[in-house]
Amino acid sequence: MTATVAVVGGGYGGITVAQALDDVADVVLIDPKDAFVHNVAALRAIVDPSWAEQMFMPYSGLLKRGRVVEDWVVSVEAHGVWLSSGGFMQADYIVIATGTSYPFPAKVGSHHAEAARRRIQATSEALYQAGHVLLLGAGPVGLELAGEISSAWPQKGVTVVDPAGEILSGTFMADFDPELSQRMRDMLHQQLMERGTRLLLGTAPDHSLPVPAGTLQTFTTTMRSGETVTADIWFRCHGRQPASRVLGRSLSMVRRHDDLIEVMPDLRLRGQRRVFAIGDVTATGALDTAVVAIEQAGVVADNIRFLLTGEGELGTYRPAQPVLSIPLGPTGGVTYIPDAGILDGDATAEIKGGDLFVGRYAAMFGLSG
C-alpha cells in the first residue's frame, strides 16, 4: 500500500517537497488558498498591477498523481492532521511548511486570488495618487518596496524609517562577514540616496499612525528624534509571524517562545520519526528566503524517499553559504552569490529584478510564464 504524505502549506517549500515525492507516495498538499502565490513578485505588483496576473498560479498543474485540498489545517498531530472542515486526515508522513505571515503588501493576506488581485489593484491606484510614501522598516521588504516605488514613479517622495541605526539590521545579515555586510548596505544606501529616498534611521514614530496602513489620506507624524514626516500613504514593512500554531498538543513542545519550530539536523521534529518541518517556520538559523525553503524541501523529500524505499541514506540539512538578492525595482539592487561575490544593480536585474523568477515557478505548474 502506498504511503500517504501530507504537506501542510502550499508555499515555496511545500510545493517543492510535494512535487518531489509525487512519484513515490500519495501526496496530499493542504492549503486554504485557491492558488499558489508567488510572493517574490508581490511588491512589483503594487506598482504595476499587471504582475498580479502572473503571481497567482493554480495548484491544479502541480501534481500528476497527488491531490491538493483547499482547507485549513487546524491541528497537526503525530499521525495526521485535523481540518477546519471537521475531518481528520491520517498520514504516514507529515511535512509542516506553513511559513510565516507578513503585513500586506509583502504577502497578500487573502486566500482567494481574485480578491487579492482586487486589493492589489486598489492599493496601486491609491499609491499612484500619493505624493509621498512612508515605509516603516528598513529590512529587505522596506528597501525593495522603496526601490519599486522610486523606479515606477521617480518624482514620488519616499521616506523609510527604522529604529535601528542601519539598514538590514538585526539578525538578517548575521551569516555574512561583517565587512561584506557593510559593503552591501553601503551599495543599497547609495542607490537609494541617488533616487532621492529619505532614510530616517535610529528613530520611529512617536505615536501610532493616525490612518490605517495602505489608506490614501494625508497625515503628519512626529518621530522620536523630533523630525516630522508628512505622507499620503504608509505601509508596514516589518512584523513576520511564524505560522506554528497548527502544532497539536502532541507536538506543541517543539514550538519555541518565538513561535519557531525546533527541528533536528534531518529536519524532523524532536522525538518524531515521521513529522518534518521546513522553511521559515523552523529554527534552523538560516535566512528566511524562498531559496532556503526550497533547499530544505529537497532534504526532506530525499529523507522521506529513503524511509519509503530504503534507497540512499538519511541526510541532514546544512545551511549553504548564504545567497541574497535585494532588487530595487527592475534595474537596481544588490546581490551576493558566494562564487561570484557582490553584484551590482545591473547583475541583480539579470538574476532576479527582471522577471522575479516568474518563469521558473510557472514551469512547475505547467504554465507558460
Domain ranges of the chain: 4-32+71-102+240-309, 113-239+322-364
- In the chain, DSSP finds a helix count (H) and a strand count (E) of 8, 21
Q: What is the per-residue pLDDT for 285?
A: 81
Are domains 4-32+71-102+240-309 and 113-239+322-364 of this chain identical in fold? yes
Q: pLDDT digits over 158-207, tens only?
A: 999 999 999 999 777 777 888 989 999 999 999 999 999 999 999 999 99
CA distance 275 to 81: 11
Q: What is the per-residue pLDDT for 112?
A: 96
Q: Which CATH class is domain 4-32+71-102+240-309?
A: alpha beta
Q: Which CATH class is domain 113-239+322-364?
A: alpha beta
Low-confidence ranges of the chain (pLDDT < 50): none
Q: pLDDT digits over 236-265, tens only?
A: 999 999 999 999 999 999 999 999 999 999
Q: Cβ distance 210 to 67 under 8 Å? A: no
CA distance 21 to 245: 26
Of 166, 137, 111, residue with least CA distance to 235: 137
Q: What is the per-residue pLDDT for 55?
A: 95
Q: What is the per-residue pLDDT for 353?
A: 58
Q: What is the per-residue pLDDT for 369?
A: 52
Amino acid at 367: L
In the block, residue with C-alpha cell 505571515: 101
| DSSP result, 272-302 | -SSEEE-GGGB-S---SSHHHHHHHHHHHHH
